[in-house]
Structure 1
Amino acid sequence: MTPLAPTASLPQPGIMGRALGGLFFVLALVISGFGVYNAAHAAGVAGTHGTLAVEHCWVKQGSRSSSDTTVCGGTFRSDDDKVVDDEASIRAKVKPGSKVSVQQAGGSYVRVGFGETTRWIALFFLGWLVAAFGMSFAVTGMCPRSGMQVAMISRAVSGTRAGAVRRWLVRAGLAGSGLCLLLTLLAWLLT
């Protein structure tokens, strides 16, 4: 009796698998760091607080893989009137003439509020999911060549300590990002 489809086998461990796992960890750090950085600004913990007086909005064309984004620009004025930026902009759909509470984050601006903060915290937890995905490759050193091999490598670490940590990262990442997105949705519905 012959099988209907060829069976996949586990790839050999090597430097490429560990490098792939490392790449996922770096990507997870970048995603989580970006989330924490913007959450701190949206919560008002970091940066300079002020108001953006929206003067005009435009649509920034996205690439084939990303959608168009509405950007609104105007004048930022800090609460203490020490910082004035006539070329400030935020990625948001706001009516011209509106005043938006923002936090200056380096050279950009982030909207302030509970919903914005929880949205950025959800991104932090997304980084945990990316780390969990790459953990199997880093631990085994196996570099998958197909989706079937990804599943097999993940299954290979399921009974180990690394598998337990991976499960914890997935559960915490899903719970954290899900809760934050739910809170973001509730904040959006209540405003």
Structure 2
Amino acid sequence: MMQPELTPLATAPQLPRPGVLGRALGGLFFVLALVVFGFGLYNAAHAAGVAGTSGTLTVERCWVKHGSRGSSDTTECGGTFRSDDGKVKDDQASVRADLKPGNKVSVQQAGDWYVQTGFGETTKWLAAFFLGWLVVAFGTAFAATGMFPRSGMHVALITRSISGTPAGRLRKWFVWGGLAGAGVCLLLTLAAWLAS
């Protein structure tokens, strides 16, 4: 009986060399995470009524805003905003929500836009804050090793290369904390939505 000829297995991809580009990529993820943290906390503070000018938006019209490539369409409603203290009136106010003309909704003025208030809205924005933790976790391996990935396989190898190290343990805490925090916040948002 003849033995089949053995063929060499494909060579495993090599890890990229550490360098400034990998650390810059890690830094970019940290900056992106700070933006996500700030955006989530800023809007959560307004939705909780801690920041901004509180008032009521009376809906006059709604429209569908078509998303760019890959993003979904959203419904926005506009009308007149009146602050609770009567000092601010804005006839061009709008909020991202699916409402009916004539509805009155509690909002907080947040700069040039308006955020709905309430428990469910607050937890929704806090979920975005926790998703920022996942962005940090993704960038940790690149910042720690200095390796710049050139393929999806490199991403997996670089991430695996830090397991068991202090950076790997930190990354794990960010992943689990981000998933748990976002999950709890989204469940609370869903519960608030179902209760209303």
When normalised by structure 2's length, the TM-score is: 0.95
Q: What amino acid sits opposite 1:185 in the alignment?
A: L
Tell me the secondary structure at the aligned position of residue 81 of structure 2: strand
SS at match of 2:158: helix
Task: Decide which of 49, 68, 72 is 1:67's aligned counterpart.
Answer: 72
Write the distance in 2 (CA, Å) between the matches of 1:83 and 1:143: 51
Q: Give the count of matched residue pairs.
A: 190
Give 1:9's aligned amino acid: Q
Residue 40 (str. 1) matches residue 40 (str. 2): no
Aligned residue identity for 1:40: A
TM-superposed CA distance for 1:9, in Å, is 1.0
Distance across 2 between alignment mates of 1:159 and 1:61: 45
Deviation by residue 1:147-173 (Cα, 9 ceiling, x = unmatched): 111111111111111111111111111
| 1:113 aligns with one of 103, 112, 118 | 118
**1:21-79 CA distances to partner (integer Å, 9 max, x unpaired)?**
00100110101110000000000000000000000011112112111111100000000
Secondary structure of residue in 1 paired with 2:137: helix
* Equivalent runs, 1:121-160 vs 2, <5 Å: 121-160=126-165
Q: Is 1:184 matched up with 2:196?
A: no
Percent of paired sites with the same residue? 71
What is the distance in 2 between the residues matched to 1:149 and 1:140?
12
Which one-letter code corresponds to 2:151 in the other structure?
S
Name the structure 2 match of 1:78: 83
* Separation in structure 2 between the aligned mates of residue 64 and residue 152 of structure 1, nearest angstrom: 31
| C-alpha displacement of 1:6 | 3.9
Q: Secondary structure at the match of 2:185?
A: helix
Equivalent position of 2:25 in the other structure: 20
1:186 counterpart letter in structure 2: A
CA distance in 2, matches of 1:88, 1:2: 67
Alignment-derived partner of residue 2 in structure 1: 8
Q: After the TM superposition, list the runs of 4 or more consecutive aligned residues in structure 1 that deviate by more than 2 angstroms.
A: none
The runs of 5 or more residues in structure 2 that have no matched partner are: 1-6
Which shifted more, 38-47 or 60-69? 60-69
**Which letter does structure 2 place at the counterpart of 1:2?**
P
Question: Structure 1: which amino acid aligns with 2:96?
Answer: R
Match of 1:51 in 2: 56
For normalisation by structure 1, the TM-score amounts to 0.98
